[in-house]
Amino acid sequence: MAILVTGGAGYIGTHTCVELLLAGYEVVVLDNFCNSHPTALDRVEQITARSLSVVRGDVRDQAILEATMHHFAIDAVIHFAGLKAVGESVEKPLDYYENNVVGTHRLLQAMQKCGVETLVFSSSATVYGEPKQLPLTEDHPLSATNPYGRSKLMVEEMLRDLWQANTHWRIAILRYFNPVGAHPLGLIGEDPRGVPNNLMPYVAQVAVGKHAYLNIWGNDYPTPDGTGVRDYIHVVDLAKGHLKALAHLNAPQCTAINLGTGVGHSVQEVRKAFERASGQTVPYKVSTRRQGDVATCYADAQLATTLLGWKAEHDLVTMCTDHWRWQSLNPNGFSNG
């Protein structure tokens, strides 16, 4: 099978390409490299001792999508391409609607035109908005609190509408919780541009000496130690979930599925686990709460097990150990070539 992976040069994309290649799929990556580096794909080939095809292009470009699907006889699409920074989405909402919503719309039109009707879409737990009950099940009410989240929600709705009108399509909407960690060889990993917004990459940069301390955004939440609790999931587990989803798309459907561990960890737990994994100290200061943050968020991961036969395997220690290996071997990410 030939899989088109949009945004395949990015953090989750590269890890998924590794698993696809190891499982014997033909992989075609379409990426405009706006938030990634072509070197990452060389590393994917190095890890797997297989080659993939790369198209430098934009998902908003329907012509290049159609040409790619024809040329490589694509059977299914995994759609990662998009922008993902919550804060930036508040500053530049139109960029987010254009890349994430218009981009997906063009992709769907191209797929329809080319008769490719199997899609795995990267959604996010952000579509649950403020949790009304925990753990978060897939039938929890959906809402958005920022343009990034709204772009994911809009795409989800677009996919459900598309499926209502074309019930032969095969669509998996994967709602990721908090992906962290890296491939165990330390050759690929998250390479944030500028100062990281997310916890684990920031902690890793403190440990490697790029920042003096971690800002903990609030320690007065109604959680066991007062700091925010999230469901961190190892990116390799997440990547494997995509292959399970592809396998499950052997019948028409439009199904939303959580990919998380079902276990929540606080900011302090992550900080301490990272200290143990890295052997470095991660000093911190407590700051006021970050606007828009919720106290606690974790998945009910049962549906993924029932439907896909998938379960996250790696714990927080492995997430930190693998993240640290990547960070310490590549302190400047892919920039060193």
Q: Judge contact between 287 and 216, C-beta under 8 A.
A: yes
How many residues does this entry show for the chain?
Answer: 337
Return all residues near 176 (Cβ < 8 A) that are at least 6 apart: 12, 122, 123, 124, 125, 233, 238, 259, 260
Residue 12 is a binding residue for ligand NAD (CB under 6 A): yes
User: DSSP secondary-structure letter at 333?
Assistant: G
82 binds, among ligand UFG, ligand NAD, none (CB under 5 to 8 A by kind): ligand NAD
Q: What character string, x for contact with ligand NAD (CB under 6 A) and - otherwise, covers 82-121?
A: xxx--------------x---x------------------
Smaller CB distance to ligand NAD: residue 95 or 269? Answer: 95
Smaller CB distance to ligand UFG: residue 8 or 82? Answer: 82
How far apart (Å, rounded) are the C-alpha atoms in residues 93 and 105? Answer: 17
Residue 16 is a binding residue for ligand NAD (CB under 6 A): no
Q: How far is the CB of 73 from ligand NAD (least distance, A)?
A: 21
The stretch among 80-88, 162-170, 201-209, 288-296 that binds ligand NAD (CB under 6 A) is: 80-88
How far apart (Å, rounded) are the C-alpha atoms in residues 202 and 109? Answer: 38
How far apart (Å, rounded) are the C-alpha atoms in residues 263 and 59? Answer: 34
Tokens linked to 58: 């934009």
How far apart (Å, rounded) are the C-alpha atoms in residues 59 and 8? Answer: 12
Q: Name which of residues 244 to 303 contact ligand UFG (CB under 6 A).
A: 267, 290, 293
121 binds, among ligand NAD, ligand UFG, none (CB under 5 to 8 A by kind): none
Residue 34 is a binding residue for ligand NAD (CB under 6 A): yes
Q: Judge contact between 152 and 127, C-beta under 8 A.
A: yes
User: DSSP secondary-structure letter at 136?
Assistant: B
Q: Which amino acid is at 78?
A: I
Residue 261 is a binding residue for ligand NAD (CB under 6 A): no
Beta-sheet strands, E only, within 32-91: 53-56, 76-79
327 binds, among ligand NAD, ligand UFG, none (CB under 5 to 8 A by kind): none
Tokens linked to 91: 């500053």
Is 148 part of the annotated catalytic residue set? Answer: yes
Q: What character string, x for contact with ligand NAD (CB under 6 A) and - otherwise, covers 39-78?
A: -------------------xxx------------------
Residue 123 is a binding residue for ligand UFG (CB under 6 A): no
146 binds, among ligand NAD, ligand UFG, none (CB under 5 to 8 A by kind): none
Q: What do you get for the CA distance between the two ends of the chain, in Å? A: 31
- Interface residues with ligand NAD (CB under 6 A) are 7, 9-13, 31-36, 58-60, 80-84, 99, 103, 122, 124, 176, 178-179
